[in-house]
Amino acid sequence: MSKNKSATAQSDTETRATSSHAQELRLWLRMLACTNLIEGEIRSCLRSQFSITLPRYDLMSQLERAPDGIKMGELSKRMMVTGGNVTGITDQLVSEGLVVRLDNPTDRRAYNVKLTAEGRKAFTKMAVAHEKWIVDMLGGLNEKERDHLYFLLAKLKTHVFSMTANSKSPSNLERLTE
């Protein structure tokens, strides 16, 4: 492990909690630490192997799922970023010939964005490598453990969704502490 990765592992979000904190908080911080470690490694691999950032990869991933193109506003919603962020990333990818911006036939005020043939080819290479990186990182768990974790996270996701389904704000969770 490199010096930088070692320092990160020792100072991740999980180190904020002690045994005196609720187990649920420690679990949340452990999940966050795992997510941050995996995402950091993905960012690093994308940068070193493909000279691309994770947001650019994510935008291309959305476009790969919409072969006929997608509105800029819809991209912003799917990526959960501002329209300005999507515009900046799109501009970079257009200048590299990986995506093209087209007039939207049903809305003169909007543009559709889609992968070019070169962009699709580049994304396919990245996606294959991305999947391998994820498989390798989760390879520390055997198949039974991965299945069990997948099941437990689905159960957690359903529970949290049901708690927040009636409101777009954290008010449902806040009511639990009143």
Asked if residue 170 has pLDDT above 90, the reply is no
54-64 and 117-137 helices cross at what angle (nearest 10)?
110
Q: How far apart are CA 77 and CA 137, in angstroms?
A: 29
Asked if residue 137 has pLDDT above 50, the reply is yes
Place 169 in a pLDDT band, splitting at 50, 70 and 90.
Answer: low
Return the minimum-mean-pLDDT range out of 14-18, 33-37, 48-52, 75-79: 14-18
54-64 and 83-95 helices cross at what angle (nearest 10)?
90
Q: Taking residues 102-121, report their average pLDDT.
A: 91
Measured over the CA atoms of residue 90, residue 95, residue 98 and residue 102, the dihedral's sign is positive
Asked if residue 142 has pLDDT above 90, the reply is yes
Q: How far apart are CA 47 and CA 33, in angstroms?
A: 21
Q: What is the pLDDT of residue 11?
A: 57
Ordered by start, the domain boundaries in the chain are 8-51
**Left if phi > 0, otherwise alpha if psi is -120 to 50, otherwise beta: which for 110?**
beta
Tokens of 86: 């999507």
The distance from CA 14 to its chain's CA centroid, rounded to whole angstroms, is 20
Q: What is the pLDDT of residue 174?
A: 55
16 or 62, greater pLDDT: 62
Counting residues of the chain whose pLDDT is more than 70, the rounded percentage is 85
- Sheet containing 70-71: give its strands across: 70-71, 107-115, 99-104
Asked if residue 13 has pLDDT above 50, the reply is yes
Q: Taking residues 104-114, report their average pLDDT.
A: 87
Q: Taking residues 17-34, report their average pLDDT.
A: 86
Place 116 in a pLDDT band, splitting at 50, 70 and 90.
Answer: very high
151 or 68, greater pLDDT: 151
